[in-house]
């Protein structure tokens, strides 16, 4: 019998316990089995299969074209590559427009991917959807501040909570989503002072992205972390590597060697 104990996948209770202990929560995105396995082997707590795959994998300008089928395909791949991290799948644009639709789509995600939770973007309008999912046993993470699915309504990407009205709205949204049953809340591009205030006002963990260092955890797009991009990452992301340069260098060497080591092979003439 093996002396090694199989890895146990983290649960929402584990994440809640980390918040109670004051232990920071580390979260990254992943979109395929290999990247997920590598991320998990480095000790990540949660993996988000983000609809950011529209930008960084599928080549779209925004997350809006990403479909439920896209999310399910990539989330299932991430599941196959992991055994410990808690997995969260984004509900894509248009998939949670009313409680009945949200429930049907979230049930499909849970059944077809094996993830432990879903993430829903939006504030007060999402409360009925969150309540419907939680009532049927689905773990949900909320997401307020900069919500990329609403980029056109918001008029672009920018910091939220700078003025009194925006700050008051975010406080209200955070409290309402906690009351609706989310087990964690993403704060994206929220002013650091407000993100810190909201974190201290909630019992659930906040997961910051571009919102300073005083959230209970942090999430980043893995491509931004490792420098796997063809365009600059957002200003709040500090790449720890330049994987794009490594790939370009390796491929460049391969192309040069292939062309240098082989003589031209003439085409055979057809028999007369």
3-class DSSP assignment, residue 82: coil
pLDDT digits (tens, 9 = 90+) for 56-94: 999 999 999 999 999 999 999 999 999 999 999 999 999
Catalytic positions, written as ranges: 188
What are the sequence ranges of the domains in the chain? 12-241
pTM of the model: 0.93
**pLDDT tens digits, 87-126:** 999 999 999 999 999 999 999 999 999 999 999 999 999 9
Q: What fold, for 12-241? A: TIM Barrel (3.20.20)
pLDDT of residue 268: 76
Rounded CA separation 229/247 (Å) = 11
How is residue 44 written in tokens?
């990540």
Least Cα distance to 103 among 137, 66, 147 occurs for 137
Helix (H) or strand (E) holding 22: none
Query: How far is CA 52 from each of CA 17, 160, 163, rounded to the nearest angstrom?
Result: 28, 19, 28
The count of other CB atoms within 10 Å of the CB of residue 14 is: 14
Mean pLDDT of the chain: 94
pLDDT of 270: 65
Output the 3-class SS for 121-132.
Answer: EECHHHHHHHHH
What does the pLDDT profile of the chain (272 residues) look like in tens digits?
344 455 799 999 999 999 999 999 999 999 999 999 999 999 999 999 999 999 999 999 999 999 999 999 999 999 999 999 999 999 999 999 999 999 999 999 999 999 999 999 999 999 999 999 999 999 999 999 999 999 999 999 999 999 999 999 999 999 999 999 999 999 999 999 999 999 999 999 999 999 999 999 999 999 999 999 998 888 888 999 999 999 999 999 999 999 998 777 788 776 55
């Amino acid at each position: 019998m093996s002396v090694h104990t199989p890895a146990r996948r983290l649960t929402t209770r584990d994440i809640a316990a980390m918040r109670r202990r004051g232990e920071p929560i580390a979260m990254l995105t992943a979109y395929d089995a290999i990247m997920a396995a590598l991320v998990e082997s480095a000790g990540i707590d949660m993996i988000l299969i983000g609809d950011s795959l529209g930008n960084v994998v599928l080549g779209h300008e925004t997350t809006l074209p990403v479909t439920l089928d896209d999310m399910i395909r990539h989330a299932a791949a991430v599941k196959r590559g992991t055994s410990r991290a808690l997995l969260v799948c984004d509900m894509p644009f248009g998939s949670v427009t009313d409680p009945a639709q949200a429930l049907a789509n979230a049930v499909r995600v849970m059944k077809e991917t094996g993830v432990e939770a879903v993430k829903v973007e939006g504030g007060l309008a999402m409360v009925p959807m969150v309540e419907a999912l939680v009532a049927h046993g689905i773990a949900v993470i909320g997401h307020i501040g900069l919500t990329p699915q609403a980029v056109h309504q918001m008029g672009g990407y920018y910091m939220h909570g700078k003025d009194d009205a925006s700050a008051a709205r975010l406080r209200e949204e955070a409290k309402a989503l906690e009351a609706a049953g989310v087990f964690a809340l993403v704060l994206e591009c929220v002013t650091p002072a407000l993100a810190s205030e909201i974190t201290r006002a909630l019992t659930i963990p906040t997961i910051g992205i571009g919102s300073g260092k005083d959230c209970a955890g942090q999430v980043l797009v893995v491509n931004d972390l490792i420098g796997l991009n063809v365009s600059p990452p957002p200003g709040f992301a500090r790449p720890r590597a330049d994987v794009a340069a490594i790939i370009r260098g390796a491929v460049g060497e391969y192309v040069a060697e292939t062309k240098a080591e082989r003589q031209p092979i003439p085409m055979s003439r057809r028999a007369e």
